[in-house]
Amino acid sequence: MHPVDWAIIAIYLVWIVWDGLRLTRRSHELEGYFLASRSLPWWAVGLSVMATQLSAITMIGTTGQGYADGMRFLQFYYALPLAMIVLSVTLVPFFHNAKVYTAYEYLEQRFDAKTRAFTSLLFLLSRSMSLGVVISAPAVVLAVVLGISVTNTVLLIALPTAVYTMFGGVQAVTWTDVKQMVLIVFGLIAAVVVLVLALPPDVSLLQALHLAGSTGRLQTFDFTFDLTNPYTFWSGTIAALFLFCSYFGTDQSQVQRYLTARSVDEARTSLLMSAYWKIPLQALVLLVGVLVFVFYLFTPAPMLFNRTHERELRGGARAAEYASLERRFEAAESARREAARAAVREDAAGGAAVEVFKAREAEVRAVRGDALALVRQATGDAAYNDVNYVFPTFIMTGMPVGLVGLLIAAILAAAMSTISAEMASLSTATVIDFYRRFLRREAEDRHYLRVSRVATGFWGLFASAVAVWAAELGSLIEVVNRFGSFFYGSILGVFILAVGVPRATANGAFLGLIAGMGSVAWAARFTTVAFLWHNVIGALAVVVVGSAVSAVEARVARARRA
């Protein structure tokens, strides 16, 4: 990498850390540290909510998803506007008016301490594992750039961020998110411009998109009702509605954001920003991945985007087999390149030349599949997939000097800001829902802040361990949603009982929560139902079992009174 790019990365990271610490105010007070004294404007809170989503996972995992599968992942977000409206009129005013630090404090007010503690524990487990995936995303980039192991890059990112978070506050995190959002969007637009300009002179953008569309990569609606397919219109509007209501309405990393707003109305407005802008921004990210696919139609592409495994295979016991695959790939890719140019010259989507191109594309995919299978056999990693390396490879080989450093700085800054925000939410839940509730109920604010810094360090180390494992699990954006979907539906079910079922009892909520988690575990283990539907299964199980137990308790109570 060019020294100019290194300088850009260094300058930006130093500035963002310094600026984050400079903006910290009243961090010696509990409410100032955890909730910015409930004083932030709606637009800053809204950008912070969106920046948490448009993180390094989005820059790497979603662009890789767009390269491999195209725009169909956009269906995942179709329920988001409706979810934001539902939350704006339900949970947001409940939490704001209750004057709580965490979403789970409200559950004790409504039910009891055990329901609060169990729900908060599920949040800690799900968010800490998801945080590991957030750390994995930039670790993949640095591993490619620096040529060192993912484990070392995980520690390089996570440890300094944990230290920064210990001394920062939510106010500093929020304003850092605002800057992060600007840089990410600028970086994505810059990538689109470079990718369009990189097209051959005789290939227009419309022709290039025709080629991508012929492979199904521009498909944004799939009305097939298939419970095993995670990306259809129905999963994106029904199953994802449960996921978004749970994530934005009950996940402390998001609730803590809009609890910092000045009022209920400003908190609502901050959420509605996502309703208007999330889908267009997600479409932009996926479009970058599609354009990277188009870029490699006319530019030689690597058979494997993870160069580490490529070097291992070249010099290992299966070198001859790998060399044979390389020759097959070069021939298939050359044939695809010629077929792509022929299809452009014909310029008739669906014509004979396009059909030939589609066949050549299938051959390239088949050879790449064989190469990935060889890596899995050689490494013993049955889940290996190099989709997370696609965009970093393009950055390093296809971007001009200066923009390389800018995009990597955007990825790292996005990651560090998101990591610090999620560590802050984990620390808040640990201190408020467990330490202050069960171990030491009365103490000075500075004591709780010391404990929160210890908790931040612990969760940073735990998430780092998860990050090393998560880096090779496949598409990072899908992995993080798989983690969340295991927990989110059940957590949402408890809040549905709390807010929407007036006669729900504490025992009903607690036993319903256990039933919800058990139902999701059963579905994940014994069925092929796509992970998005786990949110529906968990929420319905909690509501049904919780309501039934509550009804039985009510009958028993009436019988005793009689």
Write the DSSP string, 534-562.
Answer: HHHHHHHHHHHHHHHHHHHHHHHHHHHH-
The mean pLDDT of 502-528, rounded to a whole number, is: 92
Tokens representing residue 484 in the block: 């969340």
Cα torsion 21, 22, 24, 25 to 10°: value is: 150
Q: With CA atoms as reference, report the closest residue to 345 among 217, 215, 210, 203.
A: 203
Q: pTM of this prediction?
A: 0.84
Which pLDDT score, from 0 to 100, does residue 223 have?
Answer: 86
Report the largest interatomic distance among the alpha carbons of the chain, rounded to a whole angstrom: 87
Per-residue confidence band for 473, with pLDDT thresholds at 50, 70 and 90: low
Per-residue confidence band for 124, with pLDDT thresholds at 50, 70 and 90: very high
Per-residue confidence band for 463, with pLDDT thresholds at 50, 70 and 90: confident
| Percent share of the chain, pLDDT over 70 | 94
Which pLDDT score, from 0 to 100, does residue 492 have?
Answer: 92
Which pLDDT score, from 0 to 100, does residue 225 have?
Answer: 85
For the ranges 52-56, 132-136, 330-334, the lowest mean pLDDT is seen at 52-56
The mean pLDDT of 240-259, rounded to a whole number, is: 86
Three-class SS state of 413: helix
Pick the more confident residue, 230 or 224.
224
Which pLDDT score, from 0 to 100, does residue 28 have?
Answer: 67
83 vs 497: CA distance, rounded Å: 17
Which pLDDT score, from 0 to 100, does residue 324 have?
Answer: 92
Which pLDDT score, from 0 to 100, does residue 332 have?
Answer: 94
Pick the more confident residue, 499 or 306.
499
414 vs 406: CA distance, rounded Å: 12
Which pLDDT score, from 0 to 100, does residue 97 have?
Answer: 83
Where residue 427 falls (left for φ over 0; alpha for ψ -120 to 50; beta otherwise) is alpha
Is residue 120's pLDDT more than 90? yes
Per residue in 10-47, pLDDT (tens digit) is 888 788 777 766 766 556 677 777 887 788 888 888 88
**Residue 412: half-sphere exposure toward Cβ, Cα within 13 Å:** 29
Which pLDDT score, from 0 to 100, does residue 50 have?
Answer: 82
**Residue 407: half-sphere exposure toward Cβ, Cα within 13 Å:** 29
For the ranges 16-30, 77-91, 111-125, 388-402, the lowest mean pLDDT is seen at 16-30
CB atoms < 10 A from the CB of 546, how many?
A: 31
Tokens representing residue 237 in the block: 């509007």
CATH architecture of 3-295+396-467: Up-down Bundle (1.20)
Q: Which amino acid is at 311?
A: R
Tokens representing residue 124 in the block: 């800690």
Beta bridge partners of 261: 40
**What is the 3-class SS of 292-334, one letter each residue?**
HHHHHHHCCCCCCCCHHHHHHHHCCCCHHHHHHHHHHHHHHHH
The mean pLDDT of 509-514, rounded to a whole number, is: 95
Which pLDDT score, from 0 to 100, does residue 436 have?
Answer: 94
Q: Rounded mean pLDDT of the chain? A: 85
The mean pLDDT of 331-341, rounded to a whole number, is: 93
Pick the more confident residue, 20 or 231.
231
Per residue in 125-180, pLDDT (tens digit) is 888 888 887 888 778 777 777 777 778 888 878 877 777 777 766 777 788 788 87
Three-class SS state of 198: coil
Per-residue confidence band for 383, with pLDDT thresholds at 50, 70 and 90: low
